[in-house]
Amino acid sequence: MSAELSLSDRQTRILDYIINYLGEHKIPPSIRDIGRAVGISSTSVVNYNLTKLQEMGLIERMPEVSRGLSVNFDQLDQGSPADLAGALLATGMTNGLIRVPVLGHIQAGAPVDVPDVRTWETAEEWVQLTAGMFGDPAKLFALRVQGDSMKDASVLDGDIVILHYQESANNGDMVAAWLDGDDETTLKYLHKRGDTVELRPANDDYQPIVRPADKVRINGKVVSVIRYMN
């Protein structure tokens, strides 16, 4: 993709919506679907922006076919325009797969700092998953595990955990939790106890981490674990 290629905010939102719609429904959206989603009442204006995306090589259109719209994922994979939103980068699908950013390491043991989970565009590593398995792909991110405090939950040193970005979770969920004051993130089981939060390991060699509830911030819930065999 040419480095000079630039999308307007409206075109970015249209492309983002098309990709998310494809991921959820497995078919392209209609012109009216797109208009409603991005706040355009005129179908001619939607068509104008779709034509621009087609001229950039980002989509293909078949006017004689109902919902005759497809995304050129190979073109997207060659490099997205600089102003394309981070959420769009995180939802790029190829042949039924989604690309999920690996945003650093997380300690399954003593907590360590990790990058802000919302800055998808900083990712230097990605993993591919089957589309539709974990809900909205724009809210998925991955972290590489260091340490063995979760080994009895089959989360081992070197594994990659896939997380759904969310700011709350239920007791017993495995979460990435940010500890205010410590300025660190750790991977543990969540247990709320009144005004405190207990973050429990899955290894008897480690002690739970107990903090005031207002000093613990949930960054995401673990939805899957990937292990690469040597």
How confident is the model over 178-228, as pLDDT tens digits?
A: 898 887 889 999 999 999 999 999 999 999 999 999 999 998 999 999 887
Task: Identify the CATH number of the domain defined by range 9-84.
Answer: 1.10.10.10
Catalytic residue among 80, 149, 151, 221: 149
Q: Using pLDDT thresholds of 50, 70 and 90, give the confidence band for residue 115.
A: low
Is residue 26 flagged as an active site residue? no
Q: What is the 3-state secondary structure (H, E, C) of the chain?
A: CCCCCCCCHHHHHHHHHHHHHHHHHCCCCCHHHHHHHHCCCCHHHHHHHHHHHHHCCCEEECCCCCCCEEECHHHHHCCCCCCCCHHHHHCCEECCEEEEEEEEEEECCCCECCCCCCCHHHCCEEEEEECCCCCCHHHEEEEEEECCCCHHHCCCCCCEEEEEECCCCCCCCEEEEEECCCCEEEEEEEEEECCEEEEECCCCCCCCEEEEHHHEEEEEEEEEEECCCC
Mean pLDDT score across all residues of the chain:
80
* pLDDT higher than threshold 50 for residue 130: yes
* pLDDT higher than threshold 70 for residue 93: no
Is residue 149 flagged as an active site residue? yes
- Percent above pLDDT 90 for the chain: 36
> What is the torsional sign of CA 87, 93, 97, 101?
negative
Q: Using pLDDT thresholds of 50, 70 and 90, give the confidence band for residue 12.
A: confident
Domain ranges of the chain: 9-84, 97-226
* pLDDT higher than threshold 50 for residue 85: no
Catalytic residue among 8, 44, 139, 188: 188
Please determine whether the domains at 9-84 and 97-226 fall in the same fold group of CATH: no
One of 3.10.129.10, 3.40.50.20, 2.10.109.10, 1.10.260.40 is the CATH number of 97-226, namely 2.10.109.10
Lowest mean pLDDT among 2-16, 77-91, 165-179: 77-91
> How far apart are alpha carbons 166 and 154 in whole angstroms?
23
* pLDDT higher than threshold 70 for residue 114: no
